[in-house]
Amino acid sequence: MGFAGLSKGFLLTKQERKDKEFENRIQQGRQEEEAKERERKDQIEAQDPTRCFKCRRKIGLTAIRCHCQYYFCGRHRYAEQHECSFDYRRQGKQQLEAKLEQVTSDKLPLV
C-alpha cells in the first residue's frame, strides 16, 4: 500500500493549503466586487432621469446628476441625503496632488 492512488493536491503542506485558501478568498472577493459593479451599472442604465433615484419623485428640468451618476431632486441632491457611494475624499486628494508642486531644496553645503 502506497500513496500512488492519491492526487498531488491531497499531499499539500499546511502553509500551501493556507495559501491556496487565501488565494481562493481573494478571487471570490474580486468576483463579488465585479458582480456588484455590474449590478450598479445596470441600475444606472435602468434609472429614469425624470425621477429622483431616492424618492422616485418627478424632477423635470431641475434634475441634479451626482458624481455617483444618479439623478436626484432638490431634497436629495446632497451626498449626505442619498448615501452617495462616490469617494469625494479621494477625488479631493487627487486634485490637490495634481495642483501642488513638489518643493525640494538643493543640498546645503557642509560647513
Question: Tell me: the pLDDT tens digits for 47-91?
Answer: 778 888 888 888 888 888 888 888 888 888 888 888 888 888 999
Which tens digits make up the pLDDT trace of 13-37? 888 888 888 888 888 888 888 888 8
pLDDT confidence of residue 1: 46
Distance CA 4, CA 106 (A): 69
pLDDT of 81 reads: 83
Query: Which cell is 100 given?
Result: 501642488
Whether the full predicted model's pTM is greater than 0.95, yes or no, is no
Q: Which amino acid is at 63?
A: A
Q: What is the pLDDT of residue 82?
A: 83
Confidence of residue 10 (pLDDT cuts 50, 70, 90): low
Of the ranges 1-10, 84-93, 97-106, the best mean pLDDT one: 84-93
